[in-house]
C-alpha cells in the first residue's frame, strides 16, 4: 500500500510539475539572459537558488498550509508582489542597458551601473522565486494536491515530493541557460545585443503584468 502510494506520488508530481517548471515567467527569461554569458552553469546556479526557496516553502506548506494561504491573501502577498515586480523591472532595465552597451562597443562594461549582485545567478534564483507570488500560489493551487498527498506518507512523502519535482527544475533551467549561450554564440556580438534587449523587454512585460494581475482585473500576458 505504501509502495503504491509512493509510486502514485512520483507519477503525479512529475506530471503536474511540468505545468510549473516549464511555464514561461521572469525566472525563465532571466535564466536565458544569464546563460548567454556563462552557459549551463548559470542555469544550475539559478536552479540552486530556486531550490533554496522552494524546499523551504514546500516544507512550510507541509506543516503550516493554512497560515501560508492566509498570508498570501493578505497585505503580505501585496507587498511580495510589489517587491518582486520592482526587482524584475530593475533586472529588465539592466539587461536592456547591457544589450545597448554591447552595441556601442563597450564590452568591458565601463559605462554600465548594473550592481554585481544582479549578475549572481543564485541570488536571481532566490529573488525571482521567493518574490514571485504566482509561484507561491501555484503550490497553493495546482501543487496543493501533491502536498496533501505527500502528507499521507509523512516526512518520507515530503522528501519524495521534493526529489520528484526538483530534478525537472534543474533540467529545464540548465537547458535554457545553455540554449541562451549557444544562441548568442551563433548570432554573434550584435545578435547577442539584440537578444539581451529583447529579453529585457519581455522581462519588463512580466514585471508589469505581476502588478496588474494582483491589483487589477486586467493583464497584458496570458
Residue length of the chain: 222
Q: How many whole angstroms separate alpha carbon 30 and alpha carbon 24?
A: 11
Most confident of 3-7, 136-140, 143-147, 157-161: 157-161
Closest CA to 122 of 176, 201, 49, 219: 49
Asked if the model's pLDDT at residue 120 lies above 70, the reply is yes
Which range among 8-12, 27-31, 218-222 shows the weakest confidence by mean pLDDT?
A: 218-222
Asked if the model's pLDDT at residue 147 lies above 50, the reply is yes
Q: How many whole angstroms separate alpha carbon 126 and alpha carbon 76?
A: 18
Q: How far is CA 122 from CA 53, 85, 129, 210, in A?
A: 11, 18, 11, 22
Q: How many whole angstroms separate alpha carbon 180 and alpha carbon 136?
A: 26
Mention every residue, 6+ apart, whose C-beta is less than 8 A from residue 60.
Answer: 68
**Amino acid 31: pLDDT:** 92
Asked if the model's pLDDT at residue 221 lies above 90, the reply is no
- Enter the C-alpha cell of residue 42: 548559470
Q: pLDDT tens, 51-105?
A: 999 999 999 888 887 787 788 888 988 998 999 889 888 888 888 887 887 676 6
Closest CA to 194 of 72, 57, 99, 88: 99
**Exposed e or buried b per residue across 188-197, where buried means at least 16 C-beta atoms within 10 angstroms of its C-beta:** eeeebbebbb
Tell if the pTM clears 0.85, that is, is over it: no
Q: pLDDT tens, 174-217?
A: 999 999 888 888 877 777 788 888 888 988 988 898 889 889 98
**DSSP secondary-structure letter at 117?**
G
Where residue 87 falls (left for φ over 0; alpha for ψ -120 to 50; beta otherwise) is alpha
When pLDDT is cut at 50, 70 and 90, the band that residue 112 belongs to is very low
Q: How many whole angstroms separate alpha carbon 159 and alpha carbon 195?
A: 39
Amino acid at each position: 500500500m505504501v509502495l503504491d502510494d509512493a509510486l502514485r506520488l512520483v507519477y503525479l508530481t512529475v506530471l503536474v510539475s511540468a505545468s510549473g517548471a516549464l511555464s514561461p515567467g521572469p525566472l525563465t527569461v532571466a535564466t536565458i539572459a544569464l546563460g548567454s554569458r556563462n552557459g549551463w552553469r548559470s542555469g544550475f546556479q539559478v536552479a540552486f537558488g530556486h531550490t533554496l526557496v522552494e524546499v523551504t516553502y514546500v516544507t512550510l506548506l507541509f506543516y503550516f498550509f493554512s497560515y501560508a494561504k492566509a498570508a498570501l491573501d493578505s497585505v503580505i502577498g501585496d507587498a511580495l508582489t510589489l517587491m518582486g515586480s520592482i526587482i524584475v523591472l530593475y533586472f529588465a532595465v539592466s539587461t536592456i542597458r547591457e544589450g545597448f552597451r554591447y552595441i556601442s562597443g563597450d564590452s568591458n562594461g565601463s559605462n554600465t551601473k548594473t550592481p554585481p549582485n544582479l549578475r549572481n545567478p543564485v541570488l536571481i534564483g532566490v529573488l525571482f522565486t521567493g518574490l514571485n507570488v504566482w509561484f507561491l500560489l501555484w503550490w497553493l493551487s495546482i501543487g496543493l494536491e501533491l502536498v496533501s498527498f505527500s502528507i499521507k506518507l509523512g516526512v518520507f512523502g515530503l522528501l519524495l515530493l521534493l526529489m520528484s519535482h526538483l530534478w525537472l527544475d534543474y533540467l529545464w533551467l540548465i537547458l535554457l541557460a545553455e540554449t541562451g549561450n549557444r544562441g548568442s554564440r551563433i548570432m554573434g556580438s550584435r545578435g547577442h545585443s539584440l537578444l539581451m534587449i529583447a529579453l529585457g523587454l519581455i522581462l519588463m512585460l512580466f514585471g508589469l503584468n505581476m502588478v496588474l494581475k494582483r491589483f487589477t482585473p486586467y493583464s497584458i500576458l496570458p
